[in-house]
Structure 1
Amino acid sequence: MASKVIHAFYDDDDVLMHAVKKVKAAKHHIEEIYCPFPVHGLDKAMGLAPTRLAITSFLYGCVGLVIAIAMMNYIMIEDWPQDIGGKPSFSFIENMPAFIPIMFELTVFFAAHLMVITFFLRSRLWPFKEAENPDVRTTDDHFLMEIEIHGNEQDLMDLLLDTGAVEINITEK
C-alpha cells in the first residue's frame, strides 16, 4: 500500500531550519530533507544520530598501518634483505625511520579508499542506480521537506504554511 507524503518546498536554508524545529516541536516525523547543498546543523535539528564514519576511518587507517608494517617486514627484512648504503637490514626497528613514509602513505591510502567504499555502500549508491530525488529543483535552489501523512493532512499543511513553505504538494510515495 502506497502512503501519502507532503512535500513542502523552501527557498532559504534559514527558513528551512526554523521550519524543521517547528515541525519537530509539533511531534511530526520528517521522512527526508532534500537540499542543494549541505546545511550546517540540519542533522541535529532533525534529531538524527551522529555518524560513526570517523570511527570506521580510524579502523581502516589502523588496518593500513598493520598491512604496511607486515609488508615491509616481510619484503625488506625476511624475504630479501639488502645492504643499502652500508646499512644492513637485520631488524625492523633498525630500519624504522626509512619505513615511516611508507607506513604513513598506506595508512592514508587504506583509510581514504575504504571510506569511499563504505560511504557508497552505506548510502546505497550503487553503480547505475537511478536518482531518488523527488523534484529536480532541489539540486538547484529549493529545499524539500518530506513528511508522511497519518490522517493529519490539514493540520500539517497549516503548520507548513506557517513556517514559510513556498509550495506544498501531496504525492504518493
Structure 2
Amino acid sequence: MASNKVIHALYTDDDILMNAVKKVRAAHHHIEEVYTPFPVHGLDKAMGLEDTRIAITSFMYGCLGLAVAITMMNYIMIEDWPQDIGGKPSFSYLDNMPAFVPIMFEMTVFFAAHLMVITFYLRSRMWPFKKAENPDKRTTDDHFLMEVGIHDNEDELKQLLLDTGAVEITVTEKEG
C-alpha cells in the first residue's frame, strides 16, 4: 500500500533551494513537486526532469501557419480575384511570391505563438475557473516549497531537509 503522506519543506532563497534539491536527490528521495514564485534557472535539471518536447509542436504550428498563408494567398490573389496591382500581373503564385513573403512570415509566427499558448495552458491543465493547486500561498510571493514523498523514512527525511536549510517543515496528506 502506497503512502499519501508528503513533506512540505519551505525555503526562503532560490540558491538554498537548488542545493537542497541536489542533496535530496543525491540521498535518493523522490521529489514530487517544487513550487516557486518565479522560474528558477536549472531547477528542472536538478530535479532530473526530462527535456520538454513542446518546441516540436511549435515548429509544427509554424509549418501549419505557413501552409495556411500560402493556400490563402494563392486562392485570394491568384485564383479567386486576380488584380493588376502596381503593374504586377497575377498569373502565377511563384511570380508574385516575393511580395507574399511578409504575409507568410507573419502567419507562421501568428500560428506558432497563439497555438503554443493554447497548448501550454492545456498541457499545464490551466483552464478558466480552475482552483489553484498551490499548497502554500507564500510560494506566490517569496517562499519556495519542495514536496517530497514519505516512504517509511519520515524522521530521516525531516532531518535531511532541516540540514539543507528548510525554514519550515510540515507533513501532510497529498490530495488526489
Question: How far does the alpha carbon of each residue in 1:20-69 deviate from its partner, in whole angstroms, 9 at most, with x for none?
Answer: 00000000000000000110000000000011111111110010001100
CA drift of 1:2 comes to 7.1
User: Aligned residue for 1:98?
Assistant: 99
1:50 and 1:140, CA in 2 relative to 1: closer, same or farther beyond 3 A?
A: same
Residue type of the alignment partner of 1:117: I
Are 1:42 and 2:43 an aligned pair?
yes
Offset of residue 163 of structure 1: 0.5
Mean Cα displacement is larger for which, 79-88 or 109-118? 79-88
Aligned residue number for residue 130 of structure 1 = 131
- Give yes or no for the alignment of 1:22 onto 2:23: yes
Gaps of 5+ in 1: none
Name the CA distance, whole Å, in 2 between partners of 1:2 and 1:100: 58
Q: Distance in 2 between matches of 1:93 and 1:150?
A: 66
Counterpart residue type for residue 159 of structure 1: L
Structure 2 CA distance, aligned partners of 1:38 and 1:158?
27
1:94 is paired with a residue whose SS is helix
Q: State the 1:88 CA deviation.
A: 1.1
| Aligned twin of 2:82 | 81
Percentage identity across paired residues of the two chains: 79
1:160, 1:153 → 2: CA distance?
11
In the other structure, the counterpart of 1:152 is: 153
Give the Å deviation of 1:157: 0.4
Structure 1 ranges of 4+ moved more than 2 A = none
Amino acid at match of 2:127: W
1:143 partner letter? F
TM-score (norm 2): 0.96
Give the number of aligned pairs. Answer: 173
Tell me, what secondary structure is at the counterpart of 1:32?
Answer: strand
In 1, the alpha carbon distance for the partners of 2:23 and 2:3 equals: 27
Partner Cα distance (1:119, 1:52) in 2: 11
**Coordinate RMSD, CA, aligned:** 1.0
| Distance (Å, rounded) in 2 between the aligned partners of 1:135 and 1:107 | 40
Kindly indicate whether the alpha-carbon contact (under 8 Å) linking 2:3 and 2:151 is maintained by their aligned counterparts in 1: no
Question: 5+ unaligned residues in a row in structure 2: which ranges?
Answer: none
CA distance in 2, matches of 1:34, 1:84: 57
Please report how far the alpha carbon of residue 151 of structure 1 lies from its aligned counterpart in structure 2 after TM superposition: 0.9
Following superposition, the deviation at residue 87 of structure 1 comes to: 1.3
